[in-house]
């Protein structure tokens, strides 16, 4: 039996306890700020150090460069060649291509499954679908990358008769599998926050069940679905292991999705281990990291704002 004491409580203990708790609570805030500071700190030389700028200035990363005299100017990412080339355009294109393929694949599947689960599925069906998607979300990205590299790449190549085994299409499909759970979860959540009173009102006006779903609930939840897509896109841009393993990692400029690509994230992963500390290459990789950080930060902030607005609106508290 536990004994309870009714001594006057220690004010000091109370005070220390509260301070420890409130200081720990700042951890998430501090970590975000530290990430910001330390990633940016290492990319500052690109803007300030003339020696680094000689190799990699913002202009050199963005615009066409004439690397060898007399030859045509071009965009090129070859940080380890005699004349290091740090153009970000091929990486940007690669990142975008992989993410777009992933979205083309994941948006219809994720949103479709969300609509089915929230609007058409029976309660029992729902309790099967949700854990299945959670299972998919639980697959480590290195396993998806492995599957894309060993199995999917061969099937896609044979099916379409492609020249390059590893390409934007294969990486994009695997990336899509990683994004589906995010789009599904956020969209399904948005659809199920549409209040029952609104649904009842639509029914009372004579709408049959699918009309309630498609003409009323879906438009009402649309901002939430959009937020899910935005968050999924953020994940697709930042995901590393899948593209590192399945995209071919060739920094080429082409419009075709069946060519190999090299993305921002995969470039960091593949090159950081061998880079000289404090070199131009090192700074450029941290600069790419900063770009990824800023982009995903904005995407997440945007997604959050949309979702919280939607929730206030659907719960009847109009601004």
Q: Which of residues 284-303 bind another protein (CB under 8 A)?
A: 285-286, 289, 292-293, 296-297, 299-301
Residue 272 DSSP one-character state:
G
Smallest gap, in angstroms, from Cβ of residue 83 to another protein?
26
Q: Contact between 306 and another protein (CB under 8 A)?
A: no
Three-class SS of residue 158? helix
Q: Give one DSSP letter per residue of 126-156, joined into a string.
A: HHHHHHHHHHHHHS-HHHHHHHIIIIIHHHH
In sequence order, which residues have a C-beta less than 8 Å from that of residue 103 and are 6 or more positions away? 176, 179, 229, 232, 233, 236
Start-to-end C-alpha separation, the chain: 53
151-170: contacts with another protein (CB under 8 A): 151
Q: How far is the CB of 79 from another protein (least distance, A)?
A: 16
146 binds another protein (CB under 8 A): yes
What span, in angstroms and rounded, lies between the C-alpha atoms of 58 and 46?
7
Residue that the structure tokens 């999705």 belong to: 257
Smaller CB distance to another protein: residue 31 or 58? 31
Contacting residue, 47, 83, 138, 160, with another protein by CB under 8 A: 138
Measured from the CB atom, the residue of 32 and 104 that comes closer to another protein is 32
Q: Are 144 and 242 in contact (CB under 8 A)?
A: yes
SS3 string of 45-86? HHHHCHHHHHHCCHHHHHCCECCCCCCCCECCEECCCCCCEE
Identify which of residues 119 and 259 has a Cβ nearer to another protein in the complex: 119
Residue list 168-207, contact with another protein (CB under 8 A)? 177, 180, 184, 205-207
Q: Identify residues 1-60 at the interface with another protein (CB under 8 A).
A: 4, 6, 9, 13-14, 17-18, 20-22, 24-29, 31-32, 34-35, 38-39, 41-42
Distance CA(94)–CA(257), nearest Å, equals 9
Q: Which x/- pattern, by CB under 8 A, does the window 208-247 give for another protein?
A: xxxx-xx----------------x--xx-xxxxx--xx--
Closer CB to another protein, 162 or 207, in the complex: 207
Minimum Å distance from CB 125 to another protein?
9
């Amino acid at each position: 039996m536990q004994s309870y004491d009714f001594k006057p409580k220690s004010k000091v203990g109370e005070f220390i306890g509260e301070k420890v708790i409130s200081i720990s609570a700042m951890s998430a805030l501090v970590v975000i700020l530290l990430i910001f500071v330390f990633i940016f700190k290492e990319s500052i030389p690109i803007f300030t150090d003339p020696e680094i700028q000689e190799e990699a200035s913002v202009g050199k990363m963005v615009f066409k460069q004439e690397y060898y005299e007399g030859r045509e100017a071009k965009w090129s990412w070859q940080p380890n060649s005699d004349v290091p080339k740090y153009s970000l355009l091929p990486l940007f294109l690669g990142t975008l291509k992989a993410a777009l393929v992933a979205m083309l694949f994941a948006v219809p599947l994720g949103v479709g499954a969300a609509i089915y689960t929230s609007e058409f599925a029976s309660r029992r069906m729902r309790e099967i679908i949700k854990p299945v998607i959670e299972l998919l979300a639980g697959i480590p990205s290195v396993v998806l990358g492995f599957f894309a590299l060993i199995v999917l790449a061969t099937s896609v190549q044979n099916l379409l008769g492609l020249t390059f085994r590893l390409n934007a299409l294969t990486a994009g499909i695997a990336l899509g599998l990683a994004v589906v759970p995010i789009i599904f979860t956020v969209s399904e959540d948005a659809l199920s926050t549409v209040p029952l009173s609104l649904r009842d009102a639509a029914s009372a006006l004579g709408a049959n069940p699918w009309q309630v779903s498609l003409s009323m609930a879906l438009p009402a939840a649309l901002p939430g679905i959009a937020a899910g897509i935005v968050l999924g896109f953020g994940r697709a841009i930042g995901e590393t292991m899948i593209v590192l393993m399945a995209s071919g990692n060739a920094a080429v400029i082409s419009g075709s999705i069946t060519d190999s690509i090299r993305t921002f994230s995969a470039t960091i992963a593949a090159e950081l281990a061998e880079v000289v500390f404090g070199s131009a290459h090192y700074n450029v990789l941290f600069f790419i990291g900063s770009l990824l950080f800023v982009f995903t930060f904005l995407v997440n902030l945007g997604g959050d704002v949309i979702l919280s607005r939607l929730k206030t609106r659907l719960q009847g508290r109009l601004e």
